[in-house]
A = this chain, B = another copy of it.
Amino acid sequence: MSTTVEKWGVFELKLSTSRKYHNPFTDVKLKASFYNSGQKKVVHGFYDGDGIYKIRFMPELEGEYSYVVRSNDPEMNNITGTFTVTPPSADNHGPVRVTGEHFTYADGTPFFVMGTTAYVWHYRPGEIRERTLRSFSKYGFNKIRMLFFPKHYRGNFNAVDISYEPPCYPFEGGPKDFDFTRPNPEYFRMFEQRVKELCELGIEADVILFHPYDFGHWDIDKMDEEDALLYLRYIINRLSAFRNVWWSLANEYDIGCDEDNPGRFMLSQNRRNWDVIGEYIKANDPYGHPRSCHNITFGWIYPDRPWMTHVSYQHPDTYTLMLELKREYKKPVINDEYQYEGNLPDCWGNSSAELTLLRHWLSVMAGGYATHGEAFVIGENNRDIFWSYGGDMVGDSAPCLKFLKEIVMTCPWQEMKRDYVNTDGQNYFSLSKGYEFYLLFFRNTMNGKTLWIGPKEDPKADVEYDAVFFDVKNCKIIKSCRIRPRTDKIEITAWTAVTLKLVK
């Protein structure tokens, strides 16, 4: 009986050799060519510890595949085999691709980003992780921003230096003495298990490859460029076969500066370094997973690059700036950090649910995407903030964001553009697909508001729409009715969304 794997699933080859190497991570070259219907794809393997080498492959075609392994290790060289790729299972839409200014699964299903943040939930105990996954699913989040490396708290709120330690570390040698040429497979296996769990729930893992939150605690940020590229090669070879992987080059890439951190590659604001990383991933990820780079200060939103598939930015402005970035980059734009709902003393973590909801709605009304986060310190324990460690979501915005996504799913979202006529940029906002479909959002009550709906070239046409009015704060449909927006008087209250679908 032949091996089978579903399309966009993971085919894994497990190999071994009796030969010993000084550093099997760097000394052994291992790759395989996969063939189907005249197409060939080459992917690289990796050392998984304990004398085991693996090659992972995500088939993008159905039917019969054959492969041949090449290695500088004679025992693994020239191994061949075949396997069968079956149609994808029902919830498997394939990897997410950029299509114009939007995202689409490989099977053509539109992907509407509803992101949230849980930086290092992946190394917390199982019970907490289960609650975290339940929170993601409960509110329909489908993209999680998560750091690969452990994160150390430091900052101007009351959780200084009380971070949780991970159960193991990403490299051999341990804290303050890492050998960056020797990854610790245990840490990587732990991380990729989380990626798989997200995949099973239909959630994209936005993997943040580098970050500056070490503060001398582990000295992971002492990597130089050569170390960084070795790490990249290893993580790409391990993770890229998972269809739900995204690559975020950095969190707050511009937080450091050259002067403060000589030789610390990932703490440099020097964009040349990040370009090296971006180009490396573009050249070496066989599947072209989404790639972006996340900033801290406004002026340093990463400029456009060929390696960048979409824009990831941090800024509390989700509307005007989003529109500007969309125009400038002509790529999908995600506001990946518009400040968090929470109760911290600092403005980055004390937004109300209302402000969070407003910012998220406005990212949508700008034709863009956004990522939410919760920064509530709960009870006496000032560590267990969802934004960092996961747990249970407690904020009031998450259910409303779920509802937001449900509303957008009723719209021809990717075909909609800003409708200038019914948008004042502060109180009411509109997107439309021609005059066939409108999505309106009202932040404030507007008395006697006239909607300018219908074909501009025929202002007297008697158009009729199926309308649905949504209470976006209380997550319920107010009413569904048929209206003639050019003659019917419509009462609009604050925090209402309306969809209008042309009947005739």
Number of copies: 2
Q: Using A297-B456, A347-B448, A350-B447 as known contacts, say yes or no to A317 and B425 having CB atoms under 8 A apart.
A: yes
Contact of A346 among B317, B321, B427, B448 (CB under 8 A): B448
User: For the complex, is A166 an interface residue (Cβ under 8 Å from B)?
Assistant: no
User: For the complex, is A106 an interface residue (Cβ under 8 Å from B)?
Assistant: no
Question: Separation in Å of the A455 CB from the closest CB of chain B?
Answer: 12
Q: Is the CB of A350 within 8 A of B448?
A: yes
Q: Is the CB of A347 within 8 A of B446?
A: yes
Q: Is the CB of B297 within 8 A of A425?
A: no
Q: C-beta contact mask, A307-322 vs B, less than 8 Å → 1, else 0? A: 0000000011111110
Most buried by B among A318, A321, A347, A425: A425
User: For the complex, is A358 an interface residue (Cβ under 8 Å from B)?
Assistant: yes
- How many chain A residues sit at the interface, stated as a range, is 20 to 34
User: For the complex, is A423 an interface residue (Cβ under 8 Å from B)?
Assistant: yes
CB proximity to B under 8 Å, residues A231-260: none
Q: Using A347-B448, A450-B347 as known contacts, say yes or no to A424 and B297 having CB atoms under 8 A apart.
A: no
Most buried by B among A323, A347, A424: A424
Q: Is the CB of A449 within 8 A of B319?
A: no
Residues of chain B lying within 8 A (CB to CB) of residue A350: 447-448
Q: Is the CB of B421 within 8 A of A321?
A: no
Residues of chain B lying within 8 A (CB to CB) of residue A450: 346-347
CB proximity to B under 8 Å, residues A400-457: 420-421, 423-427, 446-450, 452, 456
Chain B residue at smallest Cβ distance from A317: B425
A-B pairs with beta carbons under 8 Å apart, 23 shown: A297-B421, A297-B456, A299-B420, A299-B421, A299-B456, A316-B424, A316-B427, A317-B420, A317-B423, A317-B424, A317-B426, A318-B425, A319-B320, A320-B323, A320-B425, A321-B420, A321-B425, A345-B448, A347-B446, A350-B448, A358-B426, A359-B424, A359-B426
Known: A298-B420, A347-B449. 13 other contacts (CB 8 A): A297-B452, A299-B420, A299-B456, A315-B424, A317-B420, A318-B425, A319-B425, A319-B426, A320-B320, A321-B420, A347-B447, A359-B424, A426-B426
